[in-house]
Amino acid sequence: MEETYLLNVEGVKKKILHGGQGELPKLQDGSKFTFHFQTLKDDFERTVIDDSREAGMPMEIIVGKMFKLEIWETLLSSMRIGEVAEFWCDTIHTGMYALVSRGMRRIAEGRDPLEGQKHRCGMGNMFDYHSTGYDDLDELQRTPQPLIFIMELFRVEDPSAYKRDTWAMSKEEKLAAVPVLHSEGNRLVLRREFAQAAAKYQEAVICLRNLQAKEKPWEDGWLKLESLVTPLVLNYCQCQLELGEYYEVLEHTTELLQKHNDNAKAYFKRAKAHAAVWNEREAREDFQRVAHLDPSMAAAVKKELKQLGERMRKKHVEDRKRYQGLFQSSQGV
Q: How far apart are CA 232 and CA 199, in angstroms?
A: 11
Do 215 and 308 fall within a single domain? yes
What tens-digit pLDDT sequence spans the chain (333 residues)? Answer: 445 556 678 899 999 999 899 899 888 877 889 999 999 999 999 999 999 888 777 888 888 765 678 899 999 999 999 999 999 999 999 988 988 888 888 777 665 444 544 433 433 443 444 577 888 999 988 888 999 999 999 989 887 655 666 666 777 878 888 998 999 999 999 999 999 999 999 989 988 988 888 889 899 999 999 999 999 999 999 999 999 999 999 999 999 999 999 999 999 999 999 999 989 999 999 999 999 999 999 999 999 999 988 988 888 787 777 766 665 555 554
Tell me, yes or no, whether 145 lies in a domain: yes
Q: Give the CA distances from residue 27 to residues 22, 23, 81, 163, 169, in Å, rounded to whole numbers and listed in that order.
A: 14, 12, 13, 17, 17
Domain end, chosen from 157, 183, 211, is at: 157
- 0.85 cut: is pTM over it? no
CB 154 within 8 A of CB 35: yes
Closest CA to 58 of 75, 36, 73: 36
Write out the residue range of the structural domain in which residue 51 sits.
4-157
Q: Are 87 and 216 contained in the same domain?
A: no
Q: Is 310 found in the same domain as 175?
A: yes
Question: Do 111 and 28 lie in a common domain?
Answer: yes
Q: Has residue 118 been placed in a domain? A: yes
Single-letter residue type at 107: I
Q: Which amino acid is at 40?
A: L
Size of the chain in residues: 333
106 falls within a domain = yes
Number of domains in the chain: 2
DSSP bridge partners of 89: 12, 147
Specify whether 284 is located in the same domain as 307: yes
User: What is the distance of C-alpha 146 from the center of its chain?
Assistant: 32
Cβ proximity of 72 and 97 under 8 Å: no
* Alpha carbons 75 and 170: distance in angstroms, whole number: 24
Could you read off the pLDDT of 86-98 as tens digits, one per residue?
Answer: 999 999 999 889 8
- 294 contact partners, CB below 8 Å, separation of at least 6: 264
Last residue of a domain, one of 157, 190, 217: 157
Indicate the residue type of 242.
E
CATH number at residue 293: 1.25.40.10
Domain assignment present for residue 328? The answer is no
The pLDDT, as a whole number, for residue 124 is 41
Could you tell me if residue 331 is inside a domain?
A: no
